[in-house]
Structure formats: C-alpha cells, structure tokens
Structure 1
Amino acid sequence: MKYLYTIAFSVFVFFHLAGQGYDKNYQRVSSGDLTVDKNFYLLAVIDKAPEVKSILSDNALLKGFLQKKLNILKAHVTDTCSLPVTLVSDFIWKDDTAALAKELGQVYLANKKAFDKVIDGHLRPSGYYQRFAGMSNSVLLAKAWNQCFYGMDYIVNQYGLGKRMRYPHIDSVSYVVTSRVYRIVLKDIMASLDEVNAGFDVFYKPSLAVAMQLMQANDRDEPARLEPLEKGINKMAFDQIKKTDWKKYRYAVIVLPGAGPSLSTTPVSPDGKIHCDVAARRYLAGDAPFIIPTGGYCYPFQGPYNEAVEMKKYLMEKYDIPASAIIVEPQARHTTTNIRNSIRLMVRYGIPIDGPSLFVTSMSQTKYSAADAFDARNKRELGYVPYTRKKQLSNHVIEFYPMMESLHMDPYDPLDP
C-alpha cells in the first residue's frame, strides 16, 4: 500500500530563506533509541528542545489528538477488541493529516523564532533532511512532519495490520497478525503502554510508541544493530581514514554489494563470494584504499547472517586484507541502498566525495546496475538517484560520483531509513 500525505503549510508571509544542509561538525542528538532517531529525527530533536516541546504540548488542538490516543490505549486494556484492525488502526495518522497540517502551520508561524532555531540548528545540519536543504524553513518543517506521519503509519500498517508494504519478502511481519498469539501480543502492548502514559506528553507519542513496540515484537532493530559502527566494527578503518593520502589513489572507495544467502547454514552466498573476489582484485591492484562491503540481515528471512559482516570476514580470511581497509555498512537491504548507505558512511567518515568511486560486483549485477532501469528504480524508491556520472568500465566495475542527497532519511524503509 502506498499513499500520499499532503502536509503543506499555506502561508503568505514570514518566508524564511533556504539555509544550508549537512554540516560535518554537527553533533546529532539522541533520544536513547537509535531506531527512533534514524526514522524520526525531527521527533528526537523536539524531545531535546524544551521550548518547542512546550509549545506543542500546550496547543489545545494537539492536546485533543493526544487525549484521543490516550483514551484509546486505556479503552483497549478492558474492552473486547482483539483483532489488529480494531486495536492499532486508531494510531494511524492518515485521516488526520489535513487538520494537523493546518494547525502545525499556524503553530510554526506563531512561534517562528523557536522553530527556526531547531530547524537551522539541528534539522538542516544533521543531513537527515538533505533533500529539503534548498527549501524555506516552513516547507522543510512541513515535509519533515509529513515524513514522520507517513513513517509511523507505514510501521503500523506493516507490523500491526500485516499489510504487504514495500519489500514483503524480507521486511514483512514475522507472525500471522490474526493468530491468537499475535492478537494477545497486541492487546498486551496496549496495556503496557497505558501503564506509562504519563510519559506521552506530546501529541505524536502514543502512535510513535505503538509503532516502536510493533517493531520490537518482530525483532526489527536493524537500524541500531552493530552501532556505533565507528567505535566497533569500523574502528580500525575509521582511524585509518584520518591517515590516508587520498592523492595516491584514483578512487576513494570500492563499494562491494552483498548477495544474501538462501540457506541459513551459508554465511556468504555463491554470488556473494564472486562479489568479494572481484572487489578484492581491484583493491589489491591499488585502485582504492578502502572496500565498503554493504548489506544487512536480509536473506533468508530473519536469518542469522549479516551480509557486510560476513563479506568482511571472507575478504580478511581469503585475501588477507586488513580490517583497517574494510568499512562495513551493515544495514542496506537492496542494491539501491547499497550505494546510498555507502555514500552516507563516506560523508560522515570524512572520505572525499568530490572524486569518483567504484561499484564492483558480479557480471549479472553490473549489467543490472549499469542499465537506465536501475536509475529509474532509484528515483521510484528513493525519490532521487544517489550517484551521478555513472559509467560502466568492465563486466564487473562501474565508476560513479556520490551525491549528498544520500544522507536524507527514508520513511518508506523503516528497517533502513
């Protein structure tokens, strides 16, 4: 299911000039839940901005939305509702977005200084809203709200109602949502959240809490697994980046996409090994100082292996490539996000993106990725193409230049936003 939200603030005055985007010196805030931060950074920021949080908490109409959700939670503790559609549907925002758009637009205009401080001090420099960097503050904020509402609804639809969303073969709910066991779980979620309802002090928090509980019920913590990467699995490579003389290399990195195994007994699939072999050859030839193996916990469904981690092991064991030359990107779930997420790490780790990098893989995936249809898929699924100046060099190698838009968070993919 895919539908559009229309959160757009109609304003005739108080236009704020478009500001800057990502700032490498910006320190991201933390809500204490990295899955929330990656999917809903606006909400994490609001929770750390007392003035803005107070404005939203004190607004009469928004208080009404909050109270409605709290009443639903409380009612579900004792009522006879037992099916997913009766338990979680009321936490979806779709039918309320028009009223929210109007009210949140007015709230912004009435408290412009406080909101602009949050937008200019956090939303823009974080990079999470990089595609909106050229827009005015009012429009950027409207689009950020839009992403939050859509993102929460996506999670509830997929993990609460069992709808087949964007990538059902690897991302879907783990249980039959109408089964007795899952219906009991959903009912217990309502009771558990009602017990802590005093902490729901802003209108969106009950729906956010329901969404996060549904992800937890399905063991869907992929956005937070292995983090922080630069202090763990990527520490040696992260430290090496600072010592690298980039002028010695034609390319900044070699992006190595995964190919998930179909068997739970196989850490690296047959094609995954080929991917590693061809990437290792280019690294050992001196094309770039780093390899970025990229791929998450995708195949088999809810399987035990992380593609990037297992490829790193393979490269080290078979080719004796040092850990300091391997930057693991363990969250991408598709070829589109293999590239996008690798660029994210390049930017945040300080790797130059003004020059070319390589995408190195099997012949079949190279043919697929070099085609115009792959560009179209990126536009369709991400809303943009994360690379430019794509050029196929051989049966296994594509040259590309990274795009800063890759930093932008994606509410259509809650497991890898």
Structure 2
Amino acid sequence: MYKILKCKSVLLALSYLFFYNTVSAQVGQPRAGYKLVSGNDWVKAKNYYLLTLLQYDKNAQALLAADAALTELAQKKLNSLRASLTECKDALCLPARLKFSTEEIGQVSARLTALYKPGNALDKLVKEHLAPSGTYIYYDAKSPAELLVKAWEQDAGAVNHAIEVYAEGKKPNYPQIDSISFDVTKKNYYILMYDCSAEVADVVNQQSLFFEAPLHAALVYLEINERRNAADCEPMATTANRAAAERVKQINWASYPYSHILVPGAGPDNPTTPLSGEGMLRCKAAARQYFAGKAPFVVVSGGAVHPFKTIYNEAVEMKKYMINSLHLPENAVIIEPHARHTTTNIRNDVRLVFRYGMPLAKPGLIVTDKYQNDFIITIDKRCISELKYVPHKLGKRLSETALEFYPVITSLQIDADEPMDP
C-alpha cells in the first residue's frame, strides 16, 4: 500500500512538472523570484497588471502616446467624460460614459498588435514583466504579441466589471458579501456619481493614455465603496509575512512530508466576533499537525468576508490565535488575508507557495473540518465555473480533517471579475 501511495505522489508531482515546463513556452515561464510592480497602489496592480505596467514603463508610455489612433481614442474618452458632466441627467449615465465599448477594446487590440515589434518597449514589457509574473498564464499565449493583447482585453473587461458593479449596481458573483454599498435608485446617488466623474476629469488630461480615465474611475468606485480589500496587508512578504518568508530559504525540505499546512478561515456570524469558534477549532487541528512535524509552515487563509463589510480579517485573527494561544512561532505562520471563498483559499495559497519559493512539486496539507474537506473533494466543478481552472490536484485524504493536495501554477492567473480578491 505504501509503495502504491508513493507512486501516486510521484506521478502527481511529475504531472505538475510537465505542465509547468510546457505552459506558455513561447513567451516564457512564471518566475518565482519575480516581484509585482505595484507603484503606490496594490489594488490597481493586482487587478489590472498590464495597465499598471504601461503606466510604470516610460518607454512603453512613449510608444503608445505617439500612436495617432490611440491618442485619438484618449481624446474621445476625455471629451465624453467632460461632456457627461453637463449632458447626463441620471446617475447611471455618468459611469456608463467611462466604460470601454466593445469597439474601443477591439481597436486597441489591433493597435497593440501593430505596435508590437521584437525588441521594442512592448516586447520587453511582456518578456521582463508580463510573462514572468504569470498573471495572464491561463491564456497559454503562442507569442508575446498575443499575450499582450489577451492581457489588454482582460484588463479592459475587468475595469468595465468594477464600474458595472460598484457604480451601476450590477450584481457581483456573491451579492450577499460583495455588493455595492449604495442604493442607486436614491436621488442623491446622482450627486455621488457626478462627483466621481468630476474627480476623474480633474485627474486625467490631454497627456493621459487611452485607458487612464476608465482605469481611474474603476479605482475611485472601489474606494468609495470601501472595497480596496485587495491591498490588505500588502506588501505581505516584507511586512506581515516577513519572518516566515525569510525562513523559507533556510528550510531543509527533505525533513518534512509536506511543504506547508493550509487552514481555510471560517467567518463569524456577527460583526463583533473577531474569530469564529469553527476558525479556532481548525487552527487547533492544524497546530497539532505542525507540532507533529508534518510541515515547517502553516498558512492561514481568509479575508474580511463575513458578515457583510466586517472589520475583522479571518487570516489576521487566526494568526493571532495561532501565536498567542497555540504558541506557534511567528516565523512559522503565514497569512493569506484576501480569499473570500474556498476556491480562492486554495488558489491564493498556491500563489504564496510559488512566490515565497516553496517547492511546488511537494504536496501541501489542507487541515479543516470534515464538512469543508468533503466539499473540497467535490470542488472541481465550482473552480472551473468561477476560476476557469482547478488550482490544485488532490492527493490522499489522511483523515476527516486532513487532505493532501498539489499546487497548480495556473493559480497565478488574475481573476477579472473579483476585484476584491483578483
């Protein structure tokens, strides 16, 4: 039996390595040591990474600014924005003017394809940032130019989605926890939308790139809704997770059967409780596995989710409990404070494992209650529906509370319709 299980683990590891070594072969593979370019805005970088890079890279900016078609588009967006302040008489007209149209998205795709040349600023941006980041890895682009266009189309759609949900009031994927904070039917909502458009009009100008007005609008709408959760605790590797991230380099991985233990959070039912009883029990089960020497790290995963707009973050509260009550050392506990669902508990965990340099071919261990592990075993269909891929491969279920899994590199892909946890 032991030999059979060992062979199964080896086969899973080899299947991962095959995938890792073949994905995006034409444009370069993700790089574990790559650090996202965030500027001063993690919400923007994590949601719209290509647009962030285009603002960051002066040579790419110059190339886009010199293109007559893109300059004309930028001017049209600015003119439409300014005109909306006098022409729009209802609240929803104002944000609608800021979205990208299907025609505009297609026009930009064509211009980016034409502008891309081997060795120029766009080529360097793709090869030095876009591909190594893995943030658009799902597309498995056949060329750098194709990856550039796919990234643009995703970012444009993501900007439109944020405007639709957090300005126009469209239902998000999970309305009970992620909905807009305002009643769009109220008369005073027009004033709020007018002021948002005025804010964007004050910031963008004749020198702004073609995407900057819609991009700034999306960020403003997220901010006024208090939905900047994607920036929580960032940059984690040099702040909240610094002690553990530095210790990763010192680990003798052969001494442990698992790279880490993942503990998904459980939100409380009321706004005054920092950590639910279920969350405590999951932490206690994980602590037992840690002290038994199963893995050198525990990753506690969960965002500020339940109840609606709670002030408490599941991962932050679990880390406090792990250290203060269960006596794990700080350099053994890693927080993942953004996940809002079980699917993204696993996906976000994989991202940290990769970026912090843990061995991806080594299995991790999910420790939670029986019922969540029952759910995880059947979660593939939901993952495909919500993420378009499954972020893990399951190994053996060791007990009701412990389940082996192998990370999948596609987890680096940005999720364009979840702006609080992209």
- The two structures share one fold, judged by TM-score above 0.5: yes
How many Å separate the matches in 2 of 1:402 and 1:388? 7
How many Å separate the matches in 2 of 1:358 and 1:284? 14
How many Å separate the matches in 2 of 1:58 and 1:137? 21
How much has 1:112 moved relative to structure 2? 6.8
Matched, 1:367 2:371: no
How many Å separate the matches in 1 of 2:310 and 2:223? 16
Q: Which amino acid aligns with 2:135?
A: Y
Q: Which amino acid aligns with 2:275?
A: V
Alignment of 1:67-86 (within 5 A): 67-79=75-87, 81-84=89-92, 86=93
How many Å separate the matches in 2 of 1:150 and 1:411? 7
Within the candidate set 128, 134, 151, 2:135 is matched to 128
- Give the structure 2 partner of residue 189 of structure 1: 196
- Give the structure 2 partner of residue 260 of structure 1: 267
Matched, 1:399 2:404: yes
Identical pairs, percent:
38
How many Å separate the matches in 2 of 1:181 and 1:281? 54
How many Å separate the matches in 2 of 1:70 and 1:270? 52
How much has 1:200 moved relative to structure 2? 5.5
- Report the secondary structure of 2:406's partner residue: strand
8 Å CA contact 2:263, 2:366 repeated in 1:
yes
Q: Deviations over 1:170-189 (max 9, x none)?
A: 11111112323432111011
Within the candidate set 300, 303, 308, 2:307 is matched to 300
How much has 1:392 moved relative to structure 2? 2.0
Q: Which range moves more in the overlay, 208-217 or 282-291?
A: 282-291
Structure 2 vs 1, CA of residues 210 and 276 (structure 1 numbering), >3 Å: closer, same or farther?
Answer: same
Within the candidate set 103, 107, 116, 1:108 is matched to 116
Aligned length: 398
- Give the structure 2 partner of residue 26 of structure 1: 34
Structure 2 vs 1, CA of residues 94 and 166 (structure 1 numbering), >3 Å: closer, same or farther?
Answer: farther
Unpaired runs of 5+ residues, structure 2, are 1-23
Q: Which amino acid aligns with 1:216?
A: E
Within the candidate set 164, 170, 177, 1:170 is matched to 177
How much has 1:61 moved relative to structure 2? 2.2
- Report the secondary structure of 1:198's partner residue: coil
How much has 1:127 moved relative to structure 2? 2.1
How much has 1:89 moved relative to structure 2? 0.9
TM-score by length of 1: 0.90
How many Å separate the matches in 2 of 1:227 and 1:199? 32
Within the candidate set 73, 77, 89, 2:96 is matched to 89
Within the candidate set 373, 386, 402, 2:391 is matched to 386
Within the candidate set 327, 344, 363, 2:334 is matched to 327
- Give the structure 2 partner of residue 409 of structure 1: 414
Unpaired runs of 5+ residues, structure 1, are 1-15
Structure 2 vs 1, CA of residues 77 and 30 (structure 1 numbering), >3 Å: closer, same or farther?
Answer: same
TM-score by length of 2: 0.89
How much has 1:134 moved relative to structure 2? 5.4
8 Å CA contact 2:112, 2:148 repeated in 1:
no
Q: CA RMSD in A?
A: 1.9
Q: Deviations over 1:67-91 (max 9, x none)?
A: 122112212334452322x111122
Q: Deviations over 1:347-385 (max 9, x none)?
A: 1111111111101101110101012xx011111111111
